[in-house]
Structure 1
Amino acid sequence: MARKPLCFVLMPFGIKSAGGDKPINFDAVYTDFIKPAVEEAGLEPIRADEEQAGGIIHKPMFERLVLCEYAIADLTTANANVFYELGVRHAAKPRTTVLLFAEGQGRLPFDVAPLRAMPYSIGVKGGPTKKKEAIKGLVTKLKAARKNVDKDSPLFQLIDEYPEIKLAHEKTDVFREQVAYAEELKAKLRKARKLGRDAIYEVELSLGELDDEEAGVIVDLFLSYRSVEAWPDMIRMFDRIDVALRATILLREQYAFALNRNGDGDLAESVLLELIDQRGPSSETYGLLGRVYKDRWDAAKAENKEAKAKGYLKKAIEAYRKGFEADWRDAYPGINALTLMHVADPADVRITQLRAVVEYAVKRKIANGAADYWDHATLLELAVLGKDQHASNAQLAELLPHVREVWEPKTTAKNLGFVMDALPGDSKDRIWIKEIIEQLLES
């Protein structure tokens, strides 16, 4: 009988928590999902064993990682051993490595998020669900790996002549030239941002195909368009960049941001909900989703559709609250939830508690020296919500030097406008709040 090609499986063992809403039984994942799929693909599975002395990977492990024709790595839980083994595999083999992760069990770390990984679902008991569908998907991946000539190792993809590369003088010079090229482009973009959208577009035209450019340059270009509110350019550009980079959380979030600002809230909502479903909750993703619902509330309010407006206001508050609960250190979704709760019902019993947590979070961040525009904007909104004119003017003075992009003070002004509009028509607080709004818009 002909020998079947070996497939080495890198994954955690036993029952582990992955940061999601339920633990995962990785032994069941292997026996009920991965192993049957490997065998159906015509391969022989070998699972990484636990015979390690003091956590040191032994010689047979290295041999399997380097010599096995195929490998599967389950990235769920960001297990240290799995990631080390995956690094060894990617350094040794240009192709035939398939990546997996359990849906809804925390984000993939930044370094591997752009890599193409297959999601699978977990049931309430921690074992795999939709097993037939999952097995079929993995079989397809493995069969494609057997035929595919494309490289799946980032090292082999990104570095020419790897692993034959030598640390010769000419190679280091090439590397220095590439770094200098990227820095030169970034300097051009810094200058272009001050001149406006057309100047940024001129820089883009000077580039070749966007999917051939260094990732840092692409992200800088993408966010440069954001800085001048060039939403259509962000949307256009998103479709032109490399698929792997397009799959990153940062790019998908900012794409949704641009879609919503450009008037396509439905697609923005779809992108964000899919991201939450695939990568789990985060303060940024839920914060952007809250903005989608807040804009819908504002539009319905302007059309005097009271019931519809009330529904969207509730959805916006809940999205922002979920964002703040995902990461208490990020005050941005917290202050948005708090502001909208004041608008919806100033007597809401949750306001006092939420305010205390938001205020503590932002003050700790500022004390740690990591503050940005949004942190100072949060303190301004807190002062306005507290109807403290003196503190509000003081926070405005602190805020204005931190403005980076033209849309930032516009967003803060709009939030303060919601607060002002919710006050009685004869309230004296409306006068000084309006003055602050005007100064924000002028900045």
Structure 2
Amino acid sequence: MIIVFTGRRPSGRDGVFPDTAVDWLEERLKLLIAGLRPRLAVGSAAAGTDLLAAGAALRAGIPVELLVTEDPEEFVSASVADKGPRWEERFRTLTAQTKAAVIPVPGARADDDGFRVVNRAILSHARDSMRDPVQKAVAPEELVVVAVTEGPRAGEDHTESLARSAEALGHLVLRLDPSQVQPEAPTAFVAMPYGVKADSTRDLKRFEADQSWHRVVVPALLDSGYRPIRTDLEAGLKSIDARMLHSINTADLFVADLATLNPNVLWELGVRHAWRPHATLLMAPNWVTPPFDLGHSTIQRYERGMKKVSDRQAVTAIRKLKAALSATQRGDDSPVWAVFPALEPVQLPPDADVELFSRLTRYSEEINLAAALRDSGRLLDLADQVRADGLPDSNCRDQLEQIGLALVKLGSFDDGRRLLEPLTAADVSFGRIRMQQGYALTLIHRDGTPEERLKYLKDAERRLLLLDGHHPGSSETWGLLGSAAKRAFELAFRLEEKNASSHLNRAIEAYRRGMEADPGDYYPGINALALVRVRGQHFDGGQDDVALAESLLPVVRFAVERRPVGPNDTWEHATLAELALHQHLLDKGMAPVPPVEALRHYTFAAHSADGAELASIRRQLEFLMAVGDPPEVLAPLLAAIPTPAEGNAL
């Protein structure tokens, strides 16, 4: 995906883009661009929208190409410095970054004619930068225009001209109002699953819910002028209380994503339908069959994969949602009101602490933005602010937990561990399942001497077993237990300890328990298969383990292949590659060469993997080689997987 940005310049204290609106526009641009994750952002570099959008892209690690007039210094004088020194300072700081390229347009002077030429060149340059679908063997690349505009204005309007040209060419255009300030923005309360969930509507396959939030819901809501607030980001709302009910009741718009048929989402939707006749919008992935009671409600269907929303799927879904949002205020949409049209909307008593609720909501929004930007430094700053804010203890803990889990998800394991450690110690009843699992993950990844790491891994296993005692049957918990025991085995094997096999046995048992807990989760399955084969061929398992590994092959393959595997499904391709490898190594007459099917799937996996995923795929192959699998088979497969640094350049 390529993003083109264009929009208004600052208007001072008044006008269409006043100084009071700068911060909210910058936050919206950061949230929008970080969520869409384009590979390139293209625009100009004038004061106002251009510099804010370019800065938002760079904060998200996205390269920026800035088209300016033939003489860049003339451009700065005419389009940047005229709005004040702070804008010129922004320009200088931004263009000094390695991922920011300033591209002068030949023949364009710093006057109206020249700016018109630059404006036309921006869209043309972005279209020329789109990947060739024939050469790249992928679907045509998407181009999205972000236009910061209040609407057409009299005279020549470069922003609207670029936006209209893009629409005429079939590109999606998202518009943001430059005059809007955050406190006055209408709120959209979004009820949806979050994180990775086992989807009961798809045979318990793992569903990455956050992709819908970042790549579909947020762009559509921002385009429609809403301030998106997500239920799971409302710190302190872990249970039903007055603040949650007030949000459901008073939100200008209520959006419910029926993905996974999450019971909390359905409960919140029922409350909204009982209290408000309109301004409720339902959406769902196209495979979801809604409950009978919603059979006559309008549901906006959208396409996506289980793990990812592709660029094409994102653009298509945003278009549909934009059209639906424009109609939400027209007519009643509640089935309750359809049956009882004489009802009156419920008015709740005033919230006891509106100011506290506002602070908590604002913290949650900032945490979400920092997580979307992958900004661990900002998350740590927010943790310091939360501690110093004088919040009630429960609210403070909830916010810190949210920050800690965000750090863990970003791979900042040490920072996440330090934040979560006192919180998990206080959770003596192990009631916070995600927090306990996240903290255990930080222990699994904690560095130290081999002896120290074995101690940390033992602590992780102990905690996870206690967690399973309180909340049995979680494939996530058993998968983490397997990971901890597997790493302990790797360390003990390297140290040539006598008890290495005991760690291997525990890892196999944990992964097999994970398979039983969630047959649709192929992660524990592929690890159980790998370790059983390793034990059978290189340790003391013998033919019984070899036979067990052979029996697990079709079971794990079925878990992966029962739904179509798309070109960007990284872990599905990596798992299929490893299945082909294990099948090859189980063949007594195998040739000492890598199987073609494994090489093909590893190549697909590497194409869409991020740095952490590349590192994990390589780690598994290196582990198999270390315990005795033939290098002549594994080395060519490793060569097909770039190192994380190389992968980031893909």
State the 1:299 CA deviation: 0.9
* Residue in 2 that maps onto 1:282: 474
Letter in 2 for 1:282: S
Unpaired runs of at least 5, structure 1: 1-152
Cα gap change, 1:428 to 1:235, in 2 (>3 Å): closer
Letter in 2 for 1:410: A
* Residue in 2 that maps onto 1:436: 640
Letter in 1 for 2:621: L
**Matches of 2:363 and 2:244 in 1, distance apart?**
17
* Residue in 2 that maps onto 1:42: none
C-alpha contact (below 8 Å) 2:606/2:642 kept by paired residues = no
Per-residue CA deviations over 1:112-138 (Å, capped at 9, x if unaligned) read xxxxxxxxxxxxxxxxxxxxxxxxxxx
C-alpha contact (below 8 Å) 1:283/1:326 kept by paired residues = yes
1:297 aligns with 2:493: no
Per-residue CA deviations over 1:381-425 (Å, capped at 9, x if unaligned) read 223323454322322233235435x44332322211122234565
In the TM superposition, what are the counterparts of 1:118-129 in structure 2 within 5 Å? none
Cα gap change, 1:304 to 1:154, in 2 (>3 Å): closer
Letter in 2 for 1:378: T
State the 1:439 CA deviation: 4.1
State the 1:300 CA deviation: 1.0
In the TM superposition, what are the counterparts of 1:288-367 in structure 2 within 5 Å? 288-305=480-497, 307-346=498-537, 347=543, 348-366=546-564
**Matches of 1:315 and 1:403 in 2, distance apart?**
30
In the TM superposition, what are the counterparts of 1:167-316 in structure 2 within 5 Å? 167=347, 182-191=364-373, 193=374, 195=375, 197-207=376-386, 208=389, 211-212=394-395, 220-239=402-421, 241=423, 247-262=431-446, 263=453, 264-305=456-497, 307-316=498-507
1:390 aligns with 2:572: no
**Matches of 2:494 and 2:367 in 1, distance apart?**
43
Greater helix content: 1
**Matches of 1:323 and 1:240 in 2, distance apart?**
28
Task: Give the secondary structure class of the aligned counterpart of 1:267.
Answer: helix
State the 1:311 CA deviation: 1.8
Q: Which shows bigger deviation, 337-346 or 243-252?
A: 243-252
Per-residue CA deviations over 1:315-337 (Å, capped at 9, x if unaligned) read 11111111111111000001011
Identity %: 25
C-alpha contact (below 8 Å) 2:430/2:470 kept by paired residues = no
Cα gap change, 1:424 to 1:331, in 2 (>3 Å): closer
C-alpha contact (below 8 Å) 1:226/1:258 kept by paired residues = yes
C-alpha contact (below 8 Å) 2:621/2:634 kept by paired residues = no
**Matches of 1:357 and 1:411 in 2, distance apart?**
23
C-alpha contact (below 8 Å) 1:276/1:282 kept by paired residues = yes
The answer to which structure, 1 or 2, has the higher relative contact order (CA under 8 A, 6+ apart) is: 1
Task: Give the secondary structure class of the aligned counterpart of 1:212.
Answer: helix
1:421 aligns with 2:421: no
* Residue in 2 that maps onto 1:408: 613
Per-residue CA deviations over 1:245-302 (Å, capped at 9, x if unaligned) read 9722111111111122213112211110111112112211111111111111111111
Letter in 1 for 2:601: Q
Task: Give the secondary structure class of the aligned counterpart of 2:370.
Answer: helix
Letter in 1 for 2:520: R
Letter in 2 for 1:201: L
State the 1:313 CA deviation: 1.0
C-alpha contact (below 8 Å) 1:389/1:432 kept by paired residues = no
**Matches of 1:221 and 1:233 in 2, distance apart?**
10
**Matches of 1:430 and 1:354 in 2, distance apart?**
21
C-alpha contact (below 8 Å) 1:182/1:214 kept by paired residues = no
Task: Give the secondary structure class of the aligned counterpart of 1:229.
Answer: coil
Task: Provide the TM-score with structure 2 as the length reference.
Answer: 0.38
Unpaired runs of at least 5, structure 2: 1-237, 251-345, 447-452, 538-542, 585-593
State the 1:433 CA deviation: 2.6
Task: Provide the TM-score with structure 1 as the length reference.
Answer: 0.54
Task: Give the secondary structure class of the aligned counterpart of 1:304.
Answer: coil
**Matches of 1:358 and 1:441 in 2, distance apart?**
31
